[in-house]
A and B are shown apart, each in its own frame.
Chain A
Amino acid sequence: MGSSKLRKIWYFRHIYLFLLPAIIWYLIFAYYPMYGILIAFKDFKYNLGILGSPWAGFKYFEQFLNDSSFYDVLRNTLSISALKLIFGFPAPLILALMLNAVMHGRLKRVFQTISYLPHFVSWVVVVTLLQKILSPNVGLINDIRYQMGLEPIFFMGKPELFYPLVVISDIWKGVGWGSIIYLAALTNIDPHLYEAAEIDGAGRWSKLFKITLPSLTPTIAILLIFSLSGILNAGFDQIWLMQTPATLSVSEILDTYVLKTGLQQGQLAYSTAIGLFKSAISLGLIVLVNYISRKVSEVSLW
């Protein structure tokens, strides 16, 4: 029925007005520059500009898809992302719940402020500190081993330890900052609900699973969807610094690999192609997860 649709639009006209600045902004700052994606398909010449340069088709995509190391690198990337998701995603939530349980307001605020300090420390410094602790040349841990008469271990050179170290240091760095959202969400829960549950004799865990978590579900779902969109990223800065030649078989990820091959030769098109590839995969993944989320929990991006 055409006219009821139009009437609806008229009803919401102010809402559309609210959307207008955002739409304009996105058209200018986000959509307009997107023609840059074309670089991945073109033989870009400075004097011809991006639009005027001749087409190169899928040449660059073929280049990295045919690369023998490509699949190993992809595997490493996905492994790290998956581990970070499984162990790293719940961490801020858990921290938020723990902070919430602190009774003294002042102490809670102090803990909170300290917990997100690592977010401000750059990876260069974190890895340097990590190396100091784990160094085979009398780093903290090996010093203790030395006193005990044990042989030093080169921790950062062991492939089997690489993933745990990466995940743990990533959690340490991001958990405090990530918990801020959950803490804000927790304040939104009606305390009356808890009181009512108390009266009904609910214990701590019951309250958690029946009230807290369900109330947080929308937030959790949305954050999960966003995390998934970054699944091919795996944390370039961190990994680049933590790689050692001994661990390269597991520590070479898509972005570090691209840097060593594509970008260092100044090949703009190549690196753009890889970026595009990553985005396409992420898009597919999110559409899928969004669909699932909508069916399962009613929460979705769109």
Chain B
Amino acid sequence: MGAKRLTSADRIYMVLNYSVLFIFCATALYPFIYFLALSFNDGYDAMKGGIYFFPRVFTLENYAKAFTNPLILNSFYVSIARTVIVTVGSVLLTALLAYALSRKGLPGRKYIVFFFFFTTLFSGGLIPTFILFRQIHILNTFWVLVLPSLYSFFNAIIMKTFFDGIPEALSESARIDGASELSVFARIILPLSMPVLATIALFVGVGVWNDWFTGQFFIQNEKLHPAATFLNKMISEASFQSMTSSSGNSGSAIQNMTESQLELRGVTPEALRMTFVIIITTPIICVYPFLQKYFVKGVLVGSLKE
């Protein structure tokens, strides 16, 4: 454990490294500070612009509005259930697939890989998919949020690439000792692949958490809408209302409004959008530290040397 001598070149490099990272992260962080400020600011006041770091007219109304509908809590439960089930299920199933594809010498491997790959380029589109879901009766049910999200070729290949990097000798020696494929998979491959499993879990989890379209398009029952769908609906509806009331699609809309209705109504679609981003993103950011410990390599590599 000798002390490393830092050359001056090293020092310069370090300073450069840290500075660039710092500047980049400052720009990456700023939008969120901006959203946070806006989400706590009165919507109409925010329209005047000029808000950069702190709210000017503080209000909790935007959040209140987001939470007034009793269904929002429900939608979070749906989202959590969906995310957990899909993440666990998808990671396991995809790992299984990736492991199978990584087995050298598998007859027909080329064709099998192509079989999966082809689907990433060609798709029938929304309408046949809708018809399919209807035919297998998952339309308007919780399962339409789960089943179609279980596999992703991209994730499988990433995993496969990692599995390829695990020394063949490890699994071979286990197989010679009589271990089954399942054993090798579960006892050797998986533990050594924590970083990639955590990565894919993150990708899948985030992807499914943020997906508002599936719930919107394939589920009419509002009780089954996940949080993303629910919040997206609120924003669309707020935008629609403010558009129709101010452009008077139904000309009577303004006529019907009384004097005080035209008063300051704090929540604008813009403000709602900002609030939505904060609500939907905060849980994700909290999950990452939890997953981080898996980004450390598995400790079994050394065992080979014995």
Interface residues of A (CB under 8 A from B): 5, 8-9, 12, 14-16, 18-19, 21-23, 25-26, 28-37, 39, 50, 95, 98-99, 101-102, 109-111, 113-118, 120-122, 125-126, 129, 172, 175-176, 180-181, 183-185, 187-188, 190, 204, 215, 218-219, 222, 226, 229, 268, 272, 275-276, 279, 282-283, 286, 299, 301-302
Given A36-B124, A113-B285, A12-B28 contact (CB < 8 Å): no
By a CB distance below 8 angstroms, the chain A residues around B32 are 117, 121
Report yes or no: B107 in contact with A8, Cβ–Cβ below 8 A. yes
Taken residue by residue from 139 to 181, chain B's Cβ proximity to chain A (1 for < 8 Å, 0 otherwise) reads as: 0000000011011001011100110110000000000000011
Could you tell me the distance in whole angstroms from the C-beta of B122 to the nearest C-beta in chain A? 5
Could you count the A-B residue pairs with CB atoms below 8 Å apart for me: how many are there?
A: 195
A282 to B277, Cβ gap below 8 A?
no
- The distance from the CB of A88 to the nearest CB of chain B, in whole angstroms, is 15
Give the shortest distance, in Å, between B94 (CB) and chain A (any CB): 8
B150 — which chain A residues lie within 8 A by C-beta? Answer: 25
Contact B277 A32 (CB under 8 A): no
Q: How far is the CA of A209 from the CA of B293 in the complex (A)?
A: 28
Whether A181 contacts B128 by the Cβ 8 Å rule is: no
Q: How many residues of B contact A (CB 8 A)?
A: 85
CB distance B136 to A14 under 8 Å?
no
> Could you give 16 example pairs across A and B, Cβ below 8 Å?
A15-B100, A18-B185, A21-B93, A22-B151, A37-B125, A95-B24, A114-B25, A117-B285, A129-B34, A181-B158, A187-B195, A218-B161, A219-B161, A282-B121, A283-B121, A302-B117
Known: A18-B99, A301-B113. A36 touches B128 (CB 8 A): yes
A55 to B196, CA, bound (A): 47
**What's the Cα separation between A120 and B283 when bound, in Å?**
12
**Minimum distance in angstroms from B40 CB to a CB of chain A:** 17
Q: Give Cα A5–Cα B106 distance, bound, in whole angstroms.
A: 10
Q: When each residue 6-19 of chain B gets 1 if its CB lies under 8 Å from chain A and 0 otherwise, what string results?
A: 00011001100110
- Given A25-B150, A176-B28, decide whether A5 and B281 contact each other with a Cβ distance below 8 A: no
Which of B100, B199, B277, B288 is in CB contact (< 8 Å) with A19? B100
Decide if B119 touches A218 in the complex (CB within 8 Å).
no
Closest to A268 in B: B127
- Chain A residues with Cβ below 8 Å from B129 are 33, 36
Given A18-B100, A36-B127, are A121 and B29 neighbors across the interface (CB < 8 Å)?
no
Instruction: Report whether B107 and A5 are in contact in the complex, using a CB–CB cutoff of 8 Å.
Output: yes
**A115:B24 contact, CB within 8 angstroms:** yes
Q: Is the CB of A302 within 8 A of B113?
A: yes
Contact A8 B34 (CB under 8 A): no
Main secondary structure of the interface of A (DSSP, over half): helix
| Given A26-B115, A121-B277, A301-B113: A37 in contact with B96 (beta carbons within 8 A) | no
* Contact A34 B124, beta carbon cutoff 8 Å: yes
Contact of A25 among B13, B151, B185 (CB under 8 A): B151
A25–B125 CA distance with the chains assembled, in angstroms:
17
- Chain B 224-238: CB-based contact to A (< 8 A → 1; otherwise 0): 000000000000000
Are A111 and B25 in contact (CB-based, < 8 A)?
yes
Q: What is the bound-complex CA distance between A140 and B245, given in angstroms? A: 33
Q: Nearest A residue to B285 by beta-carbon distance? A: A113
9 smallest CB-CB distances across A and B, nearest first, come from A36-B124, A33-B124, A36-B128, A33-B128, A30-B119, A302-B113, A184-B195, A14-B181, A18-B100
Cβ–Cβ contact B97 & A30, under 8 A:
no
Contacts of B113 in A (CB 8 A): 301-302
CA distance A229 to B161 in the complex (A): 18
CB distance from B79 to the nearest CB of A (A): 15
Chain A CB within 8 A of B260 CB? no
Query: How many Å from the CB of A124 to the closest CB on chain B?
Result: 8
Q: Is the CB of A126 within 8 A of B157?
A: no
Chain B residues near A37 (CB-CB < 8 A): 122, 124-125
Q: Hey, which chain A residues are within 8 Å of B148, CB to CB?
A: 29
